[in-house]
Amino acid sequence: MVNFVEKIVKAKLAFLFAFCATIAMSPLSVLAQSQSDASKKNDSEWISYRDAYKAMLWFEKYGKSKNLIQNRFQIVVKDKSINFENVRLSLNSQTSVMNLSLDALGQTQLPLLKAAYIENAELNISPRLGQFTYRSRVSLQLRADGHYEMSDLRAACEQSLQFLAYMDPNSVSGKKCVGVKFAFDKRDSLATVELRTNGQHQQNLSVQDNTPIWPDSGIQLRVANLRFDANIEKVQVVTRGTPLIAIGVIE
């Protein structure tokens, strides 16, 4: 009988020790897992794909003329030291990862995927950028040959203005198209915007160094500013070097 009681007591004590050990270890395991996950999160930042999708859908559904303009998803940073050649953007869903290439301005063509929208997948940015925001950014379609008719540049600027008025009428109320800006990489030594009349050289526009093309961006570029004028209606614009972007100037 004594042996039987001793066995019961030993069994209960063994269970109690095991239970206490489990209670003692579980928080440590959870904490370790949490720290591991946090470490991974700290290496990157993320944006709700659903929010980005909504921002880009405006252009997709826009029904007026837009053949001379384009819309890109852009990561915007104020830090002038950020080099987007070293930044990675990926669309992470439950079943796949899609890498999205960023250009020198932090722009990409964001795919509009309904399944990822419903799931509310994440757009992951690495490494961490600190303070940043994102937006849809409208610009002019660039020509591979670098040759532009003035009438086409005016029309492209007007398309930009009309689209911005569709998105937010108050933002462009009372404003009009006054020109176009061409922006080049700050290292592009060939950056030139030439005006020609009847195929003959007329003048080169001045190119400003270390200039942001948008007031909310810290990226320094070489920028040439073309102002519309009645005297240059029949002028052809020719770019040399490689423009990264051209935007309508709306004032």
- Tell me the residue ranges of DSSP E strands in the chain: 45-48, 69-77, 88-92, 97-100, 107-108, 122-126, 132-140, 147-149, 177-185, 192-197, 200-204, 207-211, 221-227, 236-240, 243-250
What is the maximum span of the chain, computed from C-alpha positions, in angstroms? 117
Residue type, 100: L
Q: Is the pLDDT assigned to residue 23 strictly greater than 60?
A: no
What dihedral do alpha carbons 213, 217, 221, 227 form, nearest 10°? 10
Q: Locate the domains of the chain by residue range.
A: 50-250
Q: What are the pLDDT digits (tens) for 191-248?
A: 999 999 988 888 999 999 999 999 999 999 999 999 999 788 889 999 999 999 999 9
Q: What are the pLDDT digits (tens) for 47-86?
A: 999 999 999 999 999 999 999 999 999 999 988 889 999 9
The larger pLDDT score, comparing residue 233 to residue 175, is at 175
Would you state the pLDDT for residue 44? 61
- pTM of the full structure: 0.80
- CA distances 150 to 144, 158, 200, Å, are 16, 12, 15
Q: What is the DSSP letter of 214?
A: S
Q: What are the pLDDT digits (tens) for 150-174?
A: 999 999 999 999 999 999 999 999 9
